[in-house]
Amino acid sequence: MVVDASGRITLGDGSANLRKTIRQLLEETHTNIILNLADVDYIDSSGIGELVSAYTAVRSKGGELKLLHLTKKVHDLLQITKLFTVFEVYSDEPSAIRSFK
């Protein structure tokens, strides 16, 4: 399942929407999720927390959450918070999808 997110993942609606979407996907037993962040240009600490929370929620169901197309700001943010090593990050969709097979 590829989730295309757009906008800002920040305290408030942005984080809440992401949480809701991931929870819904897990309820529908989609556990292999690719989060496309190409259109997400801004994430704050609350958004980072939400990404981590999504990551652990998906893993606890035996699945994987992978990130696709990071913008520079998001990339830098994951880098300085050392989360770049935690998440599997892809820059093209086919290889992200292939990685699940």
Using CB under 8 A, list all residues that contact another protein.
Answer: 1-14, 17-18, 21, 25, 40, 42, 44-46, 48-50, 52-53, 55-56, 73, 77, 80-83, 86, 97
> How many angstroms separate the Cα of 26 from the Cα of each of 6, 32, 33, 49, 67?
20, 9, 9, 18, 17
Nearest CB to another protein, comparing residues 53 and 64: 53
Continuous segment of H or E residues that includes residue 90: strand 88-90
Nearest CB to another protein, comparing residues 5 and 70: 5
Task: Give least dist CB 84 to another protein, A.
Answer: 11
Q: Look at the block and give the residue holding tokens 């990130």.
A: 67
Beta-carbon count within 10 A of 46 CB:
14
Nearest CB to another protein, comparing residues 14 and 89: 14
Task: Give least dist CB 99 to another protein, A.
Answer: 12
